[in-house]
Structure 1
Amino acid sequence: MNFSDLGLSASILKAIEGQGYNQPFPIQQQAIPAILAGKDLLGIAQTGSGKTAGFALPILQQFQQKQPGKNRFIKALVLVPTRELALQVADVFKGFSLHLTRRVKTLAVYGGVSINPQMMALSGTEILVATPGRLLDLIDNKALHLSELEVLVLDEADKMLNMGFEEEMNRIIALLPQKRQNLLFSATLARDVEVVKERLLSSPVVISVEEEKEENQLELIKQVAYRISTERKGPFLRYLIKQGNMQQVLVFVSSIRGADNLVAKLNKNGLQAMAMHGDKSQGARTEALQRFKSGKLQVLVATDLASRGIDIKTLPVVVNYDLPRSPKDYVHRIGRTGRAGATGEAISLITKEDGHHFKIIQKKMGRKVDMLDTEEIDLKGY
């Protein structure tokens, strides 16, 4: 199936070609026609399944056929759980807008930065990508209005609920007009998501690509683990990066302090590294992610919370410097690589204390990971 089979206009198809997309992913094949038909939709899909383009393309096409509304009365709202995801989703909309006959202004708003520039930038915005808290701040400041909203998208709804945004979401939903199109995307159909579905969606089209995505994703990822003592972990990581000539490595750690310490040691040993975690300013997080995506930064060290917005199509290597607390988080971490049909490598450093926990992760994942010894490797100079 091609994008031309989905009911998309010539200008949208040109925009797709301009962004280097070839064939639609499964969720796009099902979601795009349903959204163009004005249906409510529930999409169960992991990050990296192509869902953002799945809702961005039909929304942009619908807006091509309409004139802009009143200033500061936004027409489409995409709610997301994190700052990084807000920027990422807005970039997808902006990228596809480049070739359109009518340019549609998209803006991302989020907390952690001054609200004043965002209030000024809202002028002329038709599509707003927002974290719930900052959206309510802007509404309270009368910087925007939701009364003429036509499309509501809840992206990664399960994460928003898990991160405690339920109260904010309830307040936002109460401000929306009754007549609108609702699109709900989630990695899982958890109980809380089911409640939101029943409240928001009317006779929705239901799409699920979760099982297929996860199974295929793990098949594309080469997993390997190394037995290592705690004191040799740092030198061994530097050995792996230098010996493997790794140019783009995402390293996961368990704490903010651990991230900062690891970055300092990597930089001291000639490897360009930056940290991405909750204590960093939004500007620092954005700079680190942009440099990493563009290939100007060799190593990005991240905590799990900060990783939620990291979506790079062809990321070659992920390293678990510290193991995550749950098997689900392990799969989420290594799923940063092996995306969109590309292969990837996931490396885990396993200390003696990690052994039992790593066995549980493998059992839950349904896959055995090759475990290699490192005692004979000379790490002098690393």
Structure 2
Amino acid sequence: MSFSSLGLSDVLLQALADQHFSTPTTIQTAAIPAILKKNDVLGIAKTGTGKTASYVLPVLMNLQQELRVNNRHADVLVLVPTRELAEQVKGVFQVFARALPERLKTLAVYGGVSINPQMMAMQGVNILIATPGRLLELVASNAVDLSAIKTLVLDEADKLLNLGFIEELDQIMSLLPSKRQNLLFSATLSNDLRNMEQILLHDPVVIEAEEEKTDLDLINQTAYIVSDAEKGPFLRYLIKHHEMKQVLIFASSVATADAIENKLRKNKFNATAIHSKKSQGARTDTLHHFKSGSLRILVATDLMGRGIDIPDLPFVINYELPRSPKDYVHRIGRTGRAQNAGDAISLVSQSELHHFEVIQKKMGKSVNIIDGKSIKY
């Protein structure tokens, strides 16, 4: 299956190619054609399955076909539970909207920051991404009118309900036109969500997308026993020794990711960190440079690393082990994709050895372990 078979326009297909998206995920394969046909959709998909692009692409295509300009009347409303997700979704919309011949304005609004700049920016918005509370504040201030919404998206609907937004959601629904397309995405299908589905969706296309399976046989795994103090120098040795032209390094915290980046840069390595503390624009640019090959080393946290999909990424390095075996498989699964073999290397301290044994047991695969002291570097 290819993106060209899903009904997307040539400009969006070119944008996908520019972003190095080669093969659609399960959720994208099912959701894109359904949304293009203006069906309501219920998508059950976990983080890392390509959920955001599965609705962004067809929503943009539908919107450009019926675009109008009406000051404070948005066309598309995306409701999200957190400001972080709001910025992330905005970034994806902007990346693909740049490819369209029509100019579309995307805005993310959320609490915790001044409302006045958001009110001023509302003019001419086509796609509005919002947390429920701040959206209602903007409605009360007459900054936005929801009566012309053509498409409503509830992203991470389970979290919206878990965080207690049900009353706000009810208020927002009462302000929307009855005739609209509804898209509901969630990681789980709880009883509360089933009730919302019955109220919100009309004859929906239901999609349950499992996470993409990692083919461990395509990944050559090696672990080196290295002290915490020696991990930095040993990492630089590995990059030089293997002549790594493109490598993804995983860290378990934002602080560690930044520290790795700084140390690598001081040693003249072309490296950049990507994590939740960076702006969406910075994350998008960094990922683009890494995918295109102009950035040699990307340092990522688990949250940011899940969405990285490069068919022929040759190397992944675990600077430190993740907390769960499942996260370990997610990490190393960034290589060994699309039938291309890859190398996954882990730097394991003595204190992490027992945890690494647990990871191997849960994974059902043994890893070649080498004592770093036996290597001269």
Q: TM-score range by the shorter chain?
A: 0.7 to 0.9
Q: Which amino acid aligns with 1:239?
A: Y
Which runs of no fewer than 5 residues in structure 2 stay unpaired?
A: none
* Among candidates 10, 13, 16, match of residue 13 of structure 2: 16
Secondary structure in structure 2 of the residue aligned to 1:39: coil
Q: Deviations over 1:146-167 (max 9, x none)?
A: 3332222233445x45xx9733
Kept in 1: contact 2:314–2:336 (CA 8 A): yes
Contact 1:187 1:210 (C-alpha < 8 Å) held by counterparts: no
Question: Are the counterparts in 2 of residues 3 and 13 from structure 1 also a CA contact under 8 Å?
Answer: no
- In 2, Cα distance between the equivalents of 1:302 and 1:146? 38
User: Are 1:107 and 2:110 matched, yes or no?
Assistant: no
SS in 1 for 2:373: coil
Q: Distance in 2 between matches of 1:167 and 1:251?
A: 37
The answer as to whether partners of 2:214 and 2:333 remain within 8 angstroms in 1 is: no
Contact 1:152 1:183 in 2 (8 A): yes
Residue 90 in 1 paired to residue 102 in 2?
Answer: no
Letter aligned with residue 303 of structure 1: T
Contact residue 48 and residue 307 of structure 2 kept, 8 A: no
Q: Which ranges in structure 1 are unaligned for 5 or more consecutive residues?
A: none
Match runs of 1:94-243 below 5 Å: 94-98=97-101, 103=102, 105-109=104-108, 118-130=118-130, 135=135, 138-139=138-139, 141-157=141-157, 160=159, 166-168=163-165, 171-172=168-169, 174-176=171-173, 177=176, 178-189=178-189, 197=197, 200-211=200-211, 213-215=212-214, 218=216, 221-243=219-241
Does the 8 A contact of 1:63 with 1:104 survive in 2?
A: no
Deviation digits for residues 307-346 of structure 1 (CA, Å, limit 9, x no counterpart): 2785354554332222222233333434444566765543
Distance change >3 Å, CA 258–CA 55, structure 1 → 2: closer
Q: Deviations over 1:130-152 (max 9, x none)?
A: 45566556546543233332222
Q: Could you tell me how far 1:175 is from its partner in structure 2?
A: 0.7
SS at match of 1:59: helix
Aligned to 1:331: 329
Q: 1:58 to 1:262 in 2, by over 3 A?
A: closer
CA change 1:60–1:225 in 2 (3 A) is same
**CA shift in 2, pair 1:351/1:246, >3 Å:** same
User: How far off is 1:63 after superposition?
Assistant: 2.5
CA change 1:147–1:310 in 2 (3 A) is: same
Counterpart of 1:357 in structure 2 is: 355
Indicate if the aligned counterparts of 1:16 and 1:96 stay in contact, CA closer than 8 A: no
What is the rounded CA distance, in whole Å, between the counterparts of 1:59 and 1:188 in structure 2?
23
Aligned partner of 2:248 in structure 1 is: 250
Contact 2:12 2:96 (8 Å CA) reproduced: no
CA deviation after TM superposition for structure 1 residue 240, in Å: 1.5
Q: Using the alignment, how far apart are the partners of 2:213 and 2:233 within structure 1?
A: 33
Residue 54 of structure 1 corresponds to: 54
Deviation, structure 1 residue 197:
4.3
SS of residue in 2 equivalent to 1:124: coil
Contact 2:39-2:181 within 8 A present in 1 as well: yes
Q: Which residue of 2 aligns with 1:75?
A: 75
Residue in structure 1 matched with residue 288 of structure 2 by the alignment: 293
Q: Equivalents in 1 of 2:90, 2:340: separation in Å? A: 24
2:345 to 333, 344, 347: 347
Residues 156 and 186 of structure 1 are in contact (CA less than 8 Å); yes or no, is this contact kept in structure 2? yes
Give the Å deviation of 1:304.
3.7
For residues 339 and 190 of structure 1, the distance between their equivalents in structure 2, rounded to whole angstroms, comes to 32
Equivalent residue runs for 1:270-309 within 5 Å: 270-278=268-276, 280=277, 282=279, 286-287=281-282, 290-295=285-290, 296-305=294-303, 307=304
Contact 2:15 2:96 in 1 (8 A): no
Work out the CA distance in 2 between the residues paired with 1:97 and 1:38. Answer: 20
SS state at 2:346 partner: strand
**1: CA distance, partners of 2:188 / 2:223:** 28
C-alpha displacement of 1:94? 0.7
Aligned to 1:269: 267
Q: Distance in 1 between matches of 2:167 and 2:218?
A: 39
Distance 1:223 1:264, change over 3 A: same
How many pairs were matched up?
363
Provide closer, same or farther for how the CA distance between residues 142 and 31 of structure 1 changes in structure 2, counting only shifts above 3 A.
same
Distance 1:253 1:167 in 2: 32
One-letter identity of the residue aligned with 1:322: E
Amino acid at match of 1:214: K
Distance 1:290 1:4, change over 3 A: closer
TM-score, structure 2 normalization: 0.77
Change (3 A) 1:50 1:342: farther
Q: Using the alignment, how far apart are the partners of 1:370 and 1:42 within structure 2?
A: 43
Q: Distance in 1 between matches of 2:281 and 2:64?
A: 30
Please name the residue that 1:33 is paired with. Answer: 33
Which shows bigger deviation, 194-203 or 286-295? Answer: 194-203
TM-score normalised by length of structure 1: 0.76
- Distance in 2, matches of 1:4 and 1:270, equals 41
Q: SS of the residue aligned with 1:208?
A: strand
